[in-house]
A and B are shown apart, each in its own frame.
Chain A
C-alpha cells in the first residue's frame, strides 16, 4: 500500500480515535521516518523508552506494526502497517457483514476479537466464561464494549441503558462452534511468527532460503531465473498458507465438510446444528481477523448493491447468492503479483473463481423469494434465445471494431399503437395482463405457488403458461450476463462465473462518473465519456460531438481540468510553437483521475474525523460530565435538560460523521482494494 500524506494523516487519526494518542503518535512517526529501532524512536519522539514500549505493545497487539529482528542484532526494527491501520475504518462494516451472514453471536465474538486484537483462544474463552457467569449471576445484560462502540457499530453511544438481554453467546461450546465457522469461512486466521514481519522482510528471508538451498552457486541463465521466481513464489505461498493451518485442521476433521454438505452452507447462522460436533480448538492458538477475506465478502456486497442499482433488487439478490457460492474459496480480491502469477500448477482455486451451476444457485435461494419479480415480460417470439444463451467460455477481450449491425426497420404496427404514453397505468396493466399466457409475469406474486422443479428445456412448448422457478432463475442470470457491465459470464451450459477484474474496473468507472456528474453536471459527464470513447480530441472537434455551445463547453472543460477529470495536451504546429496556432488536445486519463479521487477520499475521511475532534473540543464540558461514573449510563435523568440536548446533538453528529467515514470508505474500497 502506497502511503501518501493523506493516508498517513488518516491512519494516525484512526489510531488516535480507537487506541489513544500515544500509539497514534508513535505510528505517525514510524510512517514519516520509516522503519526505526527503539533508540531511534526515542530520539524522534523525545519520549522515554518505557512510554514507547507501552505504545508499541498496543500497536503490536492490534497488528498495526511489523517488526524485524536480524539475528544477533540488539534492537528490532519497527515498521508501521498502514494497511491494517486503514482497515480500522472498516470495523463497523465487517461487523455488520458478519451479523447479517453469521448472526448476532458471531458478530459479538468478532467484535471482542476486534477490540482486543489478536487473542489466544484460551483468553477469549476465559473472557466469555466470565461474561457468561456474570450474566447468569446478575441476570442482566452486559455492555458489549460500549467504550469503543461508537466506531464499531454506531448503534450504541446512545444514552439508552443497555438492553436487558442475556449474553449473546450462551456457552463456551457455542463460542467454540462460532470460531470454527469463522475459521472455515477464513474470516479468522491464525497468527504465526511471520505475521509480524513486513512483506518485504518475508520476501527477503524466503529469497535467501531459496538461494542457499537451491542455488548455492548463484543464478545462471534464463531457465534458472524462472525457476528461482517459481521457488520464491512457492516459498511465499507456504508462508501465507501457515495462517490457514487451523482451517486445514478443521477440514481434516471431516465433520465440518460433512455438516456443510448437510446444510448446504446456507444457514450456518443460528446454530441449528449440534455444537458438540465441533472439535475443541487448541487453546494456545492465537487468532486474529483476516481482513483479506473480509474484503472479498465486502466486495460481494458492493457488487450486489451495484447490480441492484443497475438492474433491480430481485436480480441483485440472485447475484448475491451466485457471488457467495463463487467466492467461497476465493482468499483475496486481488492476486499478489509476487505469489500468484507463477502459480499455474497450483490448482483451480488460485487461478480464478471457478464457476457455479444453475442448480447450485437454485439450491441456495430462499424459498420466500419470488423470482417472477424484477424482469419484464416479453412474448417468446420477441426473444432471441440464441443471442441470450450465448456461451462465452473465455473472458471477453476488448473487441476492436464490431461491424455495424444491419438495421431491420420493422417497427410493427402494435408497437406504434402504444405510442401514446400519456395513458394511465391501469390501462397498461390491463393491456399486459390479458395475454398473460406467455412470458414471465412481472406482476406481483401471481405464480408464487408454482414451484414445479422442472428442468429448463430449450425446446419446451411455446405455449407454456407460466415459467417454472429454474427458468425464472435463468432469466435473471441471463439478464446479468447481457448487462453492459457484464456482471456474469455464461461460461458453459448452466455454468456461470464472474470476471472480477473487468467488472471492478467498470464499477470504478461508474464511481468516477457519479462523482463527475455530481460535481460537473450531466454535460461534464458527457464530455468525459466522449473523450474516453474517442481518445484525444481537438478542442474544435468537441462541440460537434457533444452538441454543446462552444463557450459553455470551454468553461466546463476548464472546470473539469481544475478538478482533475480531464487533461489537456498542447501540440505545436511548427517549431516556433506559436500558442495561437497550436493544437489543444483534450483527453482523460482515468487512472490519474481515480488516483486523485482516492487521495481526495482519504483527505475527506481525515477531515470528518478532525471535524469530530473540533466538536469534541467545543462540547468538552458536556462530555466530561458524561464521563463521571455517577452520570454514566443514566445521562438523561441526571443531566440538565440543555446539557442533555447538547449531548444528544453531539452524539448525532458523531454518528453522522462516522457514517460518512464509512461511506467514503466504500469508495476507497472500490478504488483501491476490490
Chain B
C-alpha cells in the first residue's frame, strides 16, 4: 500500500515536474529568475501546496533542469536550463566535474580563470586539471583569451562566444589589439574628414605682408641637421619641396612667375557641413572597408576621439551640429593618403614615414641637440659630459671632421 502510493506519488511528481518545467519555459528566457511565488502563480501545483512545490522543484534541480540562485531582492529563486544542457550535466562522471562545469557555465560569456575555479571550489589543482581536461575533450568547454588579462588561462562554455568585454570589441583580433587595422582606419577617417572639412584650392606662392613677416627662422636644413629629423622630413609632393613654409614670406618673389600649388584652405566661419560622427560611420559602412567587422557609431566616436587627441582634427560646433574638421588645414598634404601608400608600394617616398596629418610643429628646443639629448641631466661644464665636449653639437654644426691636424702653423702667408 505504502509502496503503491509512493509509486503513484512519483508518477504524479514526474508529471508535475514536466508540466512545471514546460510552463516555466513559456514564461521567460533562461536568464529570468522565478521566485517561489512566481512558481506557485503558474497554477501547476494544485492547492498552492508549498510542500509539493518543494518536492517538484527539488526533483527538477536534481535533474539540472532548474538552477537555484539567491537573489538580493527576492531571496531564493530559480532559473531554468535547457534539456540538452541538463543532459550534459547528468552525463558527467563525477561531482567534481559537475562542479567545475557549473562554475564555468555560470561565468557565461566572460569566461573564467582556472585559478578562480580552483579557489572557488577549494579543490586540489590536479583534480581541477583533470576535470577541465575531461570537459575539454568532451567538447563542453573551450579555452579562451581575455584581452584584459592576456596571460590568464580562461575557460568558457564551448557553445558560447566570448563577450565583447573579453574580446575587446571590434579593435581586437584573437585577443590582440589590431593596430594595423586601427591605423588603416584612422588614416581613412582622417582623409575623409580632411577632404570634407577643408576647401581644396590653389594658392600662388606670393604672400602678403613684408611688415608682419614671420621672424626669420634659421633655415630648416641648417637647424635640423641631425639625421633623426632629416628622416622625419616634410611630407609634401616633390614639386613642393623647394617652397618650404619656413622661408620668410618676404623672400618669395611676386609676379607672373609665381606658380600656384594646391593647398587646403580653412572653410569660412559658420560652415555647416563639417562631417559628424554619424556621417563618418555611414561613410565607413557604405564603403564596406570593414567587411567582417561591424563598427557602430560608438566605435567610430572612439576613433575620432583618438584623432582629436592626436591633434589631427578638432571638434567644431556650428549651431547645434557637432562636426569635426582638420586642424591646420593649410599645412595638410594635398595628395591623398592612399595615394601615398601606393607610392610607397612602388618605392617612392620610402624615406618618409607614412602618418596622416601635417608635420608636427617645432620650436627652438626640439631643434637643438639639447632638446633630444639623452644625457641632458648630466651635462654640465666641468663634468664628464659637458657642452664643450658635446658630440651632438659637433654633429649638428657639421664639425665632425674637424680640422686641426693638417692646418698650417701660421695663419698668414709670409
Q: Show the binding face of A for B, using Cβ within 8 Å.
A: 93, 96, 100-101, 301-302, 304-305, 308-317, 320-321, 366, 368-370, 373-378, 382-389, 402, 404-409, 411, 415, 418-419, 421-422, 425, 428-429, 432, 439-440, 442-445, 475, 478-479, 481-482, 484, 510-511, 513-515, 517-519, 522, 525-527, 529-530, 533, 540, 543, 545-549, 597, 600-601, 603-604, 606-608, 610-611, 613-614, 617-618, 621-622, 625, 631, 638-640, 642-643, 646, 649, 653, 656-657, 659-660, 662-667
Contacts and interface: CB of A to CB of B under 8 A. Distances in A.
Contacts of B262: 425, 428
B209 interface: yes
Contacts of B407: 642-643, 646
B236 interface: no
Nearest to A154: B216
Contacts of A321: 212
Given A388-B270, A405-B276, 16 more contacts: A304-B214, A374-B265, A376-B266, A402-B317, A405-B320, A422-B338, A428-B262, A432-B200, A479-B266, A482-B270, A546-B309, A610-B381, A621-B411, A643-B412, A656-B218, A664-B364
Interface stretch (B110-118, B119-127, B370-378): B370-378
B282 A411 contact: yes
Given A515-B365, A547-B303, A386 B319 contact: yes
A255 to B, nearest CB: 25
Interface in B249-304: 249, 260, 262, 264-273, 276-279, 282-283, 302-303
B303 to A, nearest CB: 7
Contacts of B411: 621-622, 625, 639-640, 643
Given A376-B201, A545-B305, A622-B411, A663 B249 contact: no
A375 B202 contact: no
B81 interface: no
Given A445-B204, A613-B388, A640-B413, A320 B317 contact: no
A442 B214 contact: no
Interface of B: 148, 171, 176-177, 179, 182, 191, 195-196, 198-204, 207-218, 222-223, 249, 260, 262, 264-273, 276-279, 282-283, 302-303, 305-306, 308-311, 314-322, 327-331, 334, 336, 338-339, 355, 360-368, 370-372, 376, 379, 381, 386-390, 393, 397, 399, 402-404, 406-408, 410-413
A391 to B, nearest CB: 13
A309 B361 contact: yes
Nearest to A380: B268
A305 B214 contact: yes
A370 B361 contact: no
Most chain A C-beta atoms within 10 Å of own C-beta, residue among B198, B218, B302, B410: B218
B207 to A, nearest CB: 5
Contact of A429 (B202, B330, B362, B387): B202
Contacts of A606: 387
Contacts of A301: 212, 214-215
Given A320-B212, A482-B270, A643-B408, A518 B397 contact: no
B266 A600 contact: no
Contacts of A607: 368, 370, 379, 387, 390, 393
A423 to B, nearest CB: 10
A444 B202 contact: yes
Nearest to B363: A667
A117 to B, nearest CB: 25
Nearest to B249: A313
Contact of B268 (A378, A543, A657): A378
B260 to A, nearest CB: 5
A511 B317 contact: no
Most chain A C-beta atoms within 10 Å of own C-beta, residue among B211, B264, B329: B211
Contacts of A308: 214
29 contacts: A312-B266, A316-B209, A317-B212, A373-B203, A374-B330, A377-B199, A382-B272, A384-B272, A406-B320, A409-B278, A422-B336, A425-B200, A425-B262, A428-B200, A429-B202, A517-B361, A519-B371, A522-B310, A522-B311, A543-B177, A546-B309, A607-B379, A610-B388, A611-B388, A613-B388, A631-B412, A640-B412, A642-B408, A653-B397
A639 B338 CA distance: 57
B309 A533 contact: yes
A388 B269 contact: yes
A510 B361 contact: yes
Contact of A312 (B303, B330, B381, B408): B330
B218 A660 contact: yes
Contacts of A418: 195
A530 B302 CA distance: 12
Contacts of A640: 408, 410-413
A428 B263 CA distance: 12
A600 B376 contact: yes
Contacts of B336: 421-422
A484 B272 CA distance: 16
A525 B357 CA distance: 14
Contact of A366 (B176, B209, B364): B209
A617 B262 CA distance: 50
Q: 8 tightest A-B contacts by CB?
A: A376-B199, A388-B270, A663-B364, A478-B269, A405-B322, A614-B388, A320-B212, A442-B201
B215 A518 contact: no
Contacts of B207: 313-314, 317
A485 to B, nearest CB: 9
Contacts of B402: 618
Nearest to A624: B411
Contacts of A368: 208
B321 A444 contact: no
A529 B201 CA distance: 32
Given A514-B366, A610-B388, A376 B212 contact: no
A545 B177 CA distance: 12
A422 B340 CA distance: 11
Given A608-B368, A640-B410, A100 B260 contact: no
Nearest to A431: B200
A316 B248 CA distance: 13
Contact of A409 (B249, B279, B305, B319): B279
B346 to A, nearest CB: 15
A313 B209 contact: yes
Contact of A481 (B208, B213, B269, B368): B269
Contact of B302 (A405, A547, A625): A547
Contacts of B410: 640
A479 B273 CA distance: 15
B317 A314 contact: no
Nearest to A662: B364
A613 B334 CA distance: 45
A529 B311 contact: yes
Contacts of A475: 268-269
B370 A600 contact: yes
A309 B272 CA distance: 24
Contact of A546 (B201, B306, B330, B387): B306
A604 B264 CA distance: 36
A600 B413 contact: no
Most chain B C-beta atoms within 10 Å of own C-beta, residue among A387, A475, A515, A600: A387
A425 B209 contact: no
Most chain B C-beta atoms within 10 Å of own C-beta, residue among A304, A314, A384, A419: A384
A405 B388 CA distance: 58
A385 B268 CA distance: 10
B362 A514 contact: yes
Contact of B318 (A387, A597, A631, A667): A387
Contacts of A659: 218, 223
B208 A366 contact: yes
B364 A667 contact: yes
A374 B203 contact: yes
B255 to A, nearest CB: 12
A475 B339 CA distance: 33
Contact of A387 (B319, B330, B389): B319
B309 A479 contact: no
Contacts of A643: 407-408, 411-412
